[in-house]
Structures are given as structure tokens and as C-alpha cells.
Structure 1
């Protein structure tokens, strides 16, 4: 279909595709709000003809609002409803509307499109509206709409609604297999047709596995274009090149210790925030589609959410894999033994960042609002990550445990300095920050003492478990927010 960042169907093609999506569910009644808007005359005629054929062959009712139809399209509709000031001015056979106007003393000019004449008459003359409303009130038919499976659609504007829900049909005096038109009041746009649905218990059209597998395939195809965009791939390759050049083969000494920590922190931060910002924009862009499909009961929310989680998992791990494979060895980090653990930690870091981004995107649901919130939290997460601030005030020290970057950075530091090569002392020794270097005949600092110096006292698995817990909590929060606070209208 296309979207904000992805080219897709044209306006005409998108209009027809949205109608086709509704037909998949084989509904008893089809409501179309101005389906011909933006279409040329030929396409409009073709669309209405197809709908009329569909209604006749399938025994369905099609109800549409349409503005300024040609006379050819106007008379393709079987029934017509006219609204003025929120009240029914006419409801009956389209072929009889001219005679109805004449019966109340309003003559339709010869060779004049009846649709144009009616809309002009209703919008310009109070006398015409009064006559038509009086004639309409004298008719005995009842205007109501009902929906299969106990769901009722209620029309605003003073139309009487039958409270008894039945299997079957909408609008008394309206036969299945026909096409109906509602010409809305041009003078009062606020009185346009409003449709409200009442949720009702119904069975899902397919099983959970079918829903999950199909949604996974669809989400994978959509996400692949977004996540593996050529521009993003080039961007990350360039960043990888810069990082490799800046930190190229860092000597393992005290003088470059902060540089080594900076390289580790950058890897953790970069692959936390790239998936975070991608996920932040993901849900807001899909919001309208999700709400539409959920309100139509196409699938379970759990199937959609699990498909979203699993289908993007492989995609978000491809780029950090390439990045770490290159940067790890060019920078000269802690050898082969820690390499695979570093790669796995970056994977978990990326998934945690995506979890946080998904939650923000779901909670905000507007791209500009979500981006503002995510940037604010990004700054806070970086400050509390453990590189820029080591001496946080006591009354704020607890906040570092709310930063998932704190856990990913510290776990990578543990991998880098646990059982790693010793770090050469700064010369002259009296300038060293480590007391061991000031001892006689000591020129190297054991890696474990680096961790102790920077107060990294947890084990690797403690940091990882905290990071996994963070991931689980925010994915669960995203699901419950989507289920209970972001229900479709």
C-alpha cells in the first residue's frame, strides 16, 4: 500500500485496495464513505458498476455517501437517502426521487442532473427543506440499521433506531443485493453520517497459528524495507568506519583507558538507540491499519504483537553483527574469548532498546510526540549509563538502575576487563590513578582492578539478567498499553 517513507499505490489504487480489504471478510453490509473521491469519471463509473454487480450477485447491501455524482452514476443506486440539517428529507427509490420532488411542488428542470439539482435545492432554499421534511415525516417507513451477530450501527441526526438486534438486514424497506446512496448535507458538514459500533463477542475467522504466521510474513516484508534501507546500511557502515579509525588498535595502557571505555560505551549506546528510534516510529505509522483491522476482528492482538516481536528480531540483529565483527578487532578489544559474549550482549542490548522504543511508540502513537519523548529519555539514559557521570548525588544515584544502557555498558566492560590482558601503568608512576602502579617494580594493572576502580562489582550474568528483565517488562507494558489503553475507536 505504501506509507510515509515507502512509495506504494496511487490514491486511486489505494481507494480500491481499501474496499477490497473490506470485501475479504464477506460482510453482510458494506459502508463506504465517499469511495469515489479523487477518482476520475471513468474510474468512478467502473467502481460503482462493480459494487452494484457484487451486491446483486452476493446478496449484500452496499451503502455509500457520494457527493456530486454524474447522472449516470446517480441512477445506478437503488435507494437514496437525503439528509438536511441532520434530518431525513427523503428515503426511497432513487428512480422515484424526481417524482417525489414534483409531488411536493418542486419541479426538477429538464436535462438537469437530478443529483446537482437536489443538492442545490437543499442547500439554498429553506422553503424546499421545509416541504421535503414535512413530506418525509408523513411517510410511515422506519429508518433503522442493524448488523449481523448482534452489532448495531446507529446513525446520528435524529433517525429512529430499532433497539432489537436481529440477524440480518439493515434499513427496513431495503433489499439485500442492492446499492444505496446517502447524499449528505453540504450546508452542515458536522451533520455528516456518523457510525458507531458496539463490540460483540464473535469467533475469530482463523486460528491463532494462521494469524501469527501470516502476520509474521507481512510484518517481515514491511519491516525489511524500513530496517534494511540502503541509506541506513550506508550510514552504519560509515559510522563503523569512523569508530574503527578513531579507536584503531588502542594500546592497552592507562593513558588510553578512557578511550577504551568510550569505545565500549559507544558500541552499547549506538546499538541501543538505533533499534529504539526505529521502533518508536513503527507503531505510529501502523496505527490506522492496526485499529482498522482490530475493530474488524481480523486477528487476535496477541498474534499481531508476537508477530511484530519475532519478525523484526532477525532484522535488527543483522547490522550490529557486521558492526561488531569489524569494530571489535580493529579497535583491539579483549580477544577471541570475549568476542562471542560481546556479540551476544550487543544483541540483547539492541532488543532492549527496541523494547523501550516499542513502548514509547505505543504509548504516544503520534510520531512527533513519540520522537520528543524518546529523545528526552535518550539523553537521560546516556547520562545515567555510567561513562559520563561516575559520582551521581546520593539522592539521584538510584536512577541509574532505570537506564538499560547502564546494564549493557557495564556487562561489556566486565567482558573487556575480566581475565583480560593487564593494563600498563601510566608513567611516571606518581601520576597514575592506581595505587598499585606506585609500588616498586609494578608496571601493569590487573584487569580486575580496573573494574573495582570504577565500582563495577556485579558479575556479568547479574547485568545480563537485569537487561533481560528490562526487556521483558517493557514488552509486556507495550502489549497491555496496546490492549487496554489503545483500543480502536
Structure 2
């Protein structure tokens, strides 16, 4: 055996290869049947290189350089290195997650074979450093919905509940089980407890591979130890493979890991068992001092950021990397990865067989997301509570400013102003939904990459969740403002007004969902939604009458401006069939067939705008098309930018 290579390290794949060589046909069939349920025996990667374009020089820059590694079932690997060394980038590559504009060479293999994307997402889970959780759900509900969206959602309810209780106990969260995660308005659990909840919500879905980005971030040393210790126990008991990036663990936490990968400037400086770190560094003339945190010592060896002599430190780092690359351990690592690919003869179909597990169907996923969204919407006042207060406040203001308008010609323009104000500002105030949807989108990105559901389920459930709330807003707003302002006092006219307000709100929320999907940044999305609403106000027919609106804005923007159809529908609803007196002196502002009677037919007002009755069905159909169009556009964007 090669020098400096521990026996346990070198024999990992040798035993697996021997088993493969001597297995007979009957055993092979039995093994494949077992693989259909659970088996993932190894994860390996070779020559992983990630290149990006440097923003300053515009030249290619390598941020992960020719990295190799291997982890067996039941093991937990720590990827360690100074800040900016490429830990998170490598973790994203290994987890088959997007790496921005990076070019990636090399790949990851499961049981010696590259898995399909769908299969890999189903067998693996990723816990981000800033994990996206719904703040208005309790810890127990967070775990419950995680199980219902995954393959474990097909388990009996009692078994799911038992799993949840077990994880809550294991992560020290039983006392916080019925406490919400926390929102900007309502305080919830602590940062450390939130971190543990995020990890637990992924573990409960029974993954075979778990990736964690800084799992101990925000935790004290005791909590860090407990989290990693629990992960180690789960890995051993369930043949789980855990790969975690970690910054500077305590000695006790560091010793829990089975293997260590040490990175610096994107290059590998060590890969192997934790227990072999000391002997390796001693063999290369850098013995590890006694009574020192090993993680701290290793980071000092590969960190040049704070060196006084940068050139000397960089030269030393280069020498250390060359020493590792030419070491017997590095050579044996390469051989081990190649040998492990021999498992493909036995386990080659495992990666694809995992995808055969029964998953919740489309309807089940939409129903679960609906349930979760309804809980969020009535607990999180930002989602709909604040908006309802805003809309009802707007209704009172509108009803009292335009209070008891009379059916006289002097009030015709105030009627028109009120119609514009009601429709346009109901739409404009939908910007308040931006932060709530961005939270949903961030959660979707995480859960999509964890193979739980897709963009279609999110868009459909989000749309269905909003319908009852927006209808209540439409009814409440109309009940206050419509009768106070003395619009057309018939039941048919009132419910037609409610319909237009409801369609207006659906379209406005669709615009928010589309823009926030395209630009998931609060400030940018807010600005663009506000700008779009300002544009719609300018071309909806009130500011400039459709009969004189210039050709560019008329054909480029006006015809797909949902506010245009709302304004037209409300105008027709108010003025069609209604009569207004011309007042003293009988000087009528609009000349209609009723001028001899010193009256104005409402159709005369509509004629000024080019409106007339009879197009209700057509305009409603166009509105439905616009509403559907925004949702389809959001779906396409989510499919593209995920």
C-alpha cells in the first residue's frame, strides 16, 4: 500500500468492487429490486472546474480548480476553507444547482453513474445558509408541509406525525413546535432555532443525499455540536450521505465529520478521513500543534488574506497545493474514484430507479400549496391584511370625497373622476403584494431544486389562493364606496361594478406576480409595478380620451391595458341608460336627444369617449385573457429563471 494512505481510506471502494465482481445473476436481480427502494452507496466527483468571467478584467477566472472527492453512504463530509475559497460554488455544483454565468467542467456520479436531473433532485436535498422558510407557519407546520410535498406525503398521517415529533425532539424544538418561524411584524423563534428548523424540514423528506451550506451558521458551539451529531447519527442509521460546507467548527464538532475537504483559492489541499489529517500534515513537514483547534490550524495554513507579505504567503500556498497534488493520498483518491465506477455494473440503474418512487400528483401538490398559502395569508398581515385595510380606507375616502353625487350635469365630471380613481388606485395599491410573493418565489426556488414541485403548481395555487381574498376586497370596497357616492342605484349595476373591481384586482395581482417573478428584488419589483400602473393610468382613456389618444400609445399599450377595459366597463355601467338634468338655464354640456327636455342622456357622455353599451361580454373575455396572460407569463419566467 502507498505511503501515508490509511488502510480504511484505501479499502472503501475495494470492498465494493470485490462485491461487484463476485455477485451472481440472482443476487444482481435481488440487489436491483432493493435499489428501487433506497440504495445510494456512493457519491463521487472528479475534475470539477468552475470558470467565470472576471468583472474587472473581463477575462476567464477559475474559482474551483480540478477538485475531486468521494463520499460513501453513512458518511458526513466537511468542505472547509477560508471565505471566498469556492466552498458554496462547489456545493452548488455537486448539488446540480445553478451557478449563474459560470462554466462548469466535470461532474458528479451516483453509484458510479451520472444520474438524470429529475432523479437527482428527488434523492437529494439542499439547505441554504439563509434558508427560505415561511415566517407565518409554526415549526410543526413547516415540517408537516415539507412531508406532504415530498414522497413521504404518501405515508399515513400517523406515521408522518411520528416522524415530525421525532425530529422536533432530536433538534431540541419540541418547546417551539407551535411557535411561528417569525415575520417582520411578528416575532418568532430565534435564528439558531430557525436554522435547525430548516435542516429538519429537509431531513424529514427522507433524502439519500443532503447538502448543507454552513449548517452551523448562527448557532452557538453547543447547538452546532448537537446538529452535526444528530446528522452523523442519521447518516449512520439510514445510509445518508451528508456533504456540508463549514467555516470554522469547534474541535468537538470538527471531530464528528468522517471526511474533510480543505480548499483554498478554489484548489484542493486535502481530501480524506478526519483522522488522517494530522498524519498527513506531519508527513509534509507541518505537524499540527497539540491543544489547538484543528480547524483553526488548517484555516491558518491555507488563508493568505491577512498575510503581511502576500507574495511569500501565496508562494507558500502554491507549494502546499503542489505537495498535496503529488502526494500518495491524492493519487489514491483518483484511483479510488475510478475504481468506484465499477459499481455501475451492480448499481448503475440506482439513480434512475429512485425516480420511480411514488410522488404526490399535481392536484395533491396544488391542494397542499393552497392549504399552506391560506394559512400564510390569514396569519401574515402583509399578504392580505394590510391590503384589506388599505382598500377599505380607500373606499371610505372615496365615498366621503365623492359623497352623494347628484344626477345633474355639474356632477358628471366628478362621476367620471370617481370611476377613474376607484379603478386605477385599486390596481395601483396591488404593489403591497410584492413582498409576500417574493417570499413565495424564494421558497419555490428552493423547493423546486429539491424536486418537490414546479412552476405550474406555484402559479395555480397562488392564483386560487388570491381569489376569495380579492373577491372579499371587491365586495367590501364596493359596498362602502358605491352607495356613498350614489352611483347607478340598481342591483344589476352594483354587481357589475363589483365584477369590474374584482377583475381589476385579479389583473393587478397578476402583474405583480409576473414582475416579481422576473425581478425578485423588492425595490426593483416595486418600482416596475408602480411604473406599469402609471403607464396604464395614462392610456386607460381618462387622461386622454380614446378618440384622440395618439396612435403609438393606442396600439402599443392601450389595447392590452386592463385598466382601459375596467374604466370603459365602469363608465358604461354608470352612464348607459341614466339621465342627468341640465340645471337652471337649460344649458346642456352634452347635446343628446333629451336636450329638449333639459336633460342629458348618459349615452352622450359615453359618445365623447367612443364608448357604447353592448360590449360587456367581449370586454370581460379580454380581461380574462389578460389575467390568464399574466399568469402564463409568470409561469414561463419561473420556468426560465429558476
> For residue 336 of structure 1, what is the aligned residue in structure 2?
490
> For residue 134 of structure 1, what is the aligned residue in structure 2?
323
- Compute the TM-score of the two structures, normalised by the length of structure 2: 0.63
CA distance in 2, matches of 1:210, 1:109: 57
Judge conservation of contact 1:4–1:285 (CA < 8 Å) in 2: no
> For residue 415 of structure 1, what is the aligned residue in structure 2?
573
Judge conservation of contact 2:540–2:567 (CA < 8 Å) in 1: yes
Cα offsets for 1:53-106 (capped at 9, x unmatched): 111111112222222222222211122222234333222221232222222222
CA distance in 2, matches of 1:445, 1:325: 27
Shift, 1:269, TM fit: 1.6
Q: Quick check: 386-395 or 371-380, which moved more?
A: 386-395
Q: Quick check: 308-317 or 358-367, which moved more?
A: 358-367
- Compute the TM-score of the two structures, normalised by the length of structure 1: 0.81
Shift, 1:254, TM fit: 0.7
User: Would you say 1:473 and 2:613 are equivalent positions?
Assistant: no
Q: Structure 1 residues 282 and 373, CA, compared in 2 at 3 Å: closer, same or farther?
A: same
Matches within 5 A, 1:45-444: 45-123=225-303, 127=316, 130=319, 133-135=322-324, 137=326, 138-139=328-329, 140-142=331-333, 166=344, 205-224=359-378, 225-226=380-381, 230-275=385-430, 277-337=431-491, 338-390=493-545, 391-398=548-555, 399-420=557-578, 422-430=579-587, 432-434=589-591, 436=593, 439=596, 442-444=597-599
Judge conservation of contact 2:582–2:589 (CA < 8 Å) in 1: yes
CA distance in 2, matches of 1:68, 1:219: 38
> For residue 53 of structure 2, what is the aligned residue in structure 1?
none
CA distance in 2, matches of 1:166, 1:20: 32
Judge conservation of contact 1:84–1:129 (CA < 8 Å) in 2: no
What secondary structure is seen at the aligned counterpart in 2 of 1:80? strand
Shift, 1:134, TM fit: 2.2
Q: Structure 1 residues 202 and 451, CA, compared in 2 at 3 Å: closer, same or farther?
A: farther
Judge conservation of contact 1:104–1:132 (CA < 8 Å) in 2: no
CA distance in 1, matches of 2:316, 2:394: 73
Cα offsets for 1:170-225 (capped at 9, x unmatched): xxxxxxxxxxxxxxxxxxxxxxxxxxxxxx97767222222111111112222332
Judge conservation of contact 1:78–1:94 (CA < 8 Å) in 2: yes
Q: Structure 1 residues 364 and 74, CA, compared in 2 at 3 Å: closer, same or farther?
A: closer
> For residue 193 of structure 1, what is the aligned residue in structure 2?
none
Shift, 1:108, TM fit: 2.2
CA distance in 2, matches of 1:363, 1:228: 19
> For residue 19 of structure 1, what is the aligned residue in structure 2?
199
Q: Structure 1 residues 482 and 108, CA, compared in 2 at 3 Å: closer, same or farther?
A: closer
Q: Structure 1 residues 402 and 241, CA, compared in 2 at 3 Å: closer, same or farther?
A: same
What secondary structure is seen at the aligned counterpart in 2 of 1:383? helix
Q: Quick check: 241-250 or 429-438, which moved more?
A: 429-438
Root-mean-square deviation (CA, aligned residues, Å) is 3.0
By relative contact order (CA 8 Å, sep 6+), the higher-ranking structure is: 2
CA distance in 1, matches of 2:271, 2:554: 71
Q: Structure 1 residues 231 and 31, CA, compared in 2 at 3 Å: closer, same or farther?
A: closer
CA distance in 2, matches of 1:37, 1:59: 25
CA distance in 2, matches of 1:464, 1:201: 44
Judge conservation of contact 1:211–1:300 (CA < 8 Å) in 2: no
What secondary structure is seen at the aligned counterpart in 2 of 1:320? helix
Q: Structure 1 residues 228 and 133, CA, compared in 2 at 3 Å: closer, same or farther?
A: closer
> For residue 155 of structure 1, what is the aligned residue in structure 2?
none
What secondary structure is seen at the aligned counterpart in 2 of 1:38? coil
